[in-house]
A and B are shown apart, each in its own frame.
Chain A
Amino acid sequence: MAQGRPVRWHIAVFLAPAVAVYTALMIIPLFGTLAQSLFNLEAGARVFVGLGNFRRLFGEALWSDAFWNALGNNLWFFLIHMLVQNPIGIALAALLSSPKLRMAAVYRTAIFVPTILSFVIVGFVWKLILSPIWGIAPGMLDAVGLKSLFAPWLGKEEYALTALALVSVWQFVGIPMMLIYAALLSIPDEVLEAAEMDGITGWSQFWKIKLPLILPAIGIISILTFVGNFNAFDLIYVAQGALAGPNYATDILGTFLYRTFFGFQLQTGDPYMGSAIAGAMFGIILIGVCLYLFGIQTRLRRYQF
């Protein structure tokens, strides 16, 4: 065995294209950015400052106020997704998988369609809907006598972020729904029938049998949501611009990074501080994913049926 085994070149050959492309497009830029975050301009020259940029980002009021604001907003954005999008996705999937539901395919498609729409369309459409001047939301609330509930949600500091998070939930609720739906379908009928025979029906069947069996899928959705939310940018940018108004109330790490890196209006671009923000985002996501992989996923059992 040991002596006769030829070098298996084909493995390297087949891997090479993917590795080359991935390296060129992902790995080199990533490390380039991380490296750049260790430099800054001093008197017009690029000098190595070590972790100086991060010190400024986390500690110097000029930067850190904006950074912590963006991070806090981002956490809230994530929390809304976890508390609203995923439970609704699971509930929709549970309803869809019910054999008594007619026209399930129609609902499935209708709920999934927004996820394939562009952010630009979604952001714009919702801006139109919610506009206090020519939006249809005030009129519709008026029609059911709830006009007093209406507020210019996107324009108020205390509501804007939540409103946008809910718009994002509306757009993406189809993804957890589909993943959970697939997981629910993979539970064998006989297991559910056995539960039926044991008197476990309806909601208690969902809690006691189905939910434990789809936990791995819920775990995956959570981590996808986390990564997606901490990389989010587009919707805020489309709806509120790079200034993430009102008064930075909807500023998340992505928009903060964009403004810093490329500059916006009176602010000039700063690629070094921008890289530091990108590095911080990378670190946050890395920590989150590691916590999930080693803390949670190892405890989730996967069941083969």
Chain B
Amino acid sequence: MGALELKGITKRFGATEVIKGVDLRVEDGEFCVFVGPSGCGKSTLLRIIAGLEDASAGDILLDGVRVNDVAPARRELAMVFQSYALYPHLTVRDNMGLALKQAGIGKAEIRAATDKAAQMLALEPLMDRRPAELSGGQRQRVAIGRAIVRTPKLFLFDEPLSNLDAALRVATRIEIARLHRDLGATMIYVTHDQVEAMTLADRIVVLRAGKVEQTGRPMDLYNDPDNLFVAGFIGSPQMNFLNAPALSAPGATLGVRPEHLQVSRSAGAIEGQVSHVEKLGGETLAYVKSALHGLLTLRLFGEHDFIMGETLYLSPEPQRQFHFDAEGLRLRIV
């Protein structure tokens, strides 16, 4: 009930190939998050799954059935758009019920379905308003409600929270996680927000320039990236990439996360000067400029005081190092 499989999907817009052969399996009930830099093809891939774009090549299978030529509405999936895309002329209730009405379902049943979705999303007091009379967060909840009402096999979200402010984003994120638990439906979620990806995903798919770089559980990607790109993309602040030969380490690049650098004022592997400090209360981020390695980020728990320009010595924790070759591929050294 809701397993998706992509086989060798490519998409060309004119001469440019935007999706370059994506193979992917999303299991039934899984929460799968697509991340990647802007323009890497996340939305395009989602739209291909939805049926809003045709794939140039490859197969899309829903529950084992090829759906390449099935109209979007027949694929039994629902999409939530970044801009909400509500029907401006319809009330919240009609927005949510329109798909069912179009499918010829009876009035009483539609009412029951919309009421149920409204109750799940606390939309009851808003049912007779029009989208223009709602706040951004409320509109997004209506858009989610419109998706729920159709009881789809698969939910598609394209950066649904990026138009919301920080507090609402957290609240809606939790809401979506709860919905996923309650409905048990398969969800595919596009974002470029680290935190959303890490907290929501059962599995993250990292895309880059139309290709899947790595897929895996959030912590697997974090602790065991396959390549430089994934290592740099997952985790915030970004992993530090050090000049490996200068440290006589194997490979071309040595990766170490900001929290895995030990700091000392007297001795260490890397010498550098403090160039900037950010105190976030719970943690302190120090930026250290080193002649051989460039700007490094150092993350320390609690409050720390550094003098601007002061010399620090940093040492990567031995167990927490990642080695990459000149192509950026991970060298797994035991």
Contacts from A to B (Cβ < 8 Å): 188, 190-191, 193-201, 204, 208-209, 212-213, 301, 303-305
Q: How far is the CA of A191 from the CA of B83 in the complex (A)?
A: 9
Whether B83 pairs with A213 at a CB distance below 8 angstroms is no
- Most chain-A CB neighbours within 10 Å: which of B79, B103, B146? B79
A-B contact pairs, 25 of them (CB 8 A): A190-B81, A191-B85, A191-B87, A193-B85, A194-B79, A194-B86, A194-B146, A195-B87, A196-B52, A196-B73, A197-B72, A197-B73, A197-B77, A197-B78, A198-B102, A198-B150, A199-B71, A199-B74, A200-B102, A201-B73, A208-B98, A213-B88, A301-B89, A301-B130, A303-B132
5 residue pairs, one from A and one from B, having the closest CB atoms: A199-B73, A198-B99, A303-B88, A190-B85, A194-B85
Whether A190 pairs with B83 at a CB distance below 8 angstroms is yes
Whether B72 pairs with A196 at a CB distance below 8 angstroms is yes
Per-residue A-contact encoding for B56-100, CB less than 8 Å = 1, 0 else: 000000000000000111100111011101111100000000110
Q: What number of B residues sit within 8 Å (CB to CB) of A? A: 25
Contacts from B to A (Cβ < 8 Å): 50, 52, 71-74, 77-79, 81-83, 85-89, 98-99, 102-103, 130, 132, 146, 150
Nearest-neighbour CB distance to chain B for A182, whole angstroms, equals 17
Nearest-neighbour CB distance to chain B for A183, whole angstroms, equals 13
Contacts of A198 in B (CB 8 A): 73, 98-99, 102, 146, 150
Contacts of B99 in A (CB 8 A): 197-200
Contacts of B87 in A (CB 8 A): 191, 194-195, 209
Q: How far is the CA of A190 from the CA of B85 in the complex (A)?
A: 5
Whether B83 pairs with A204 at a CB distance below 8 angstroms is no
Nearest-neighbour CB distance to chain A for B48, whole angstroms, equals 13
Q: Which residue of B lies closest to A209 (CB)?
A: B87
Whether B52 pairs with A305 at a CB distance below 8 angstroms is no
Given contacts A193-B79, A198-B150, 19 further A-B contacts (CB under 8 A): A188-B85, A191-B85, A191-B86, A191-B88, A194-B79, A194-B146, A195-B98, A197-B72, A197-B78, A197-B99, A198-B99, A198-B146, A199-B71, A199-B103, A200-B99, A204-B102, A301-B89, A304-B88, A305-B88
Q: Which residue of B lies closest to A305 (CB)?
A: B88
Nearest-neighbour CB distance to chain A for B120, whole angstroms, equals 19
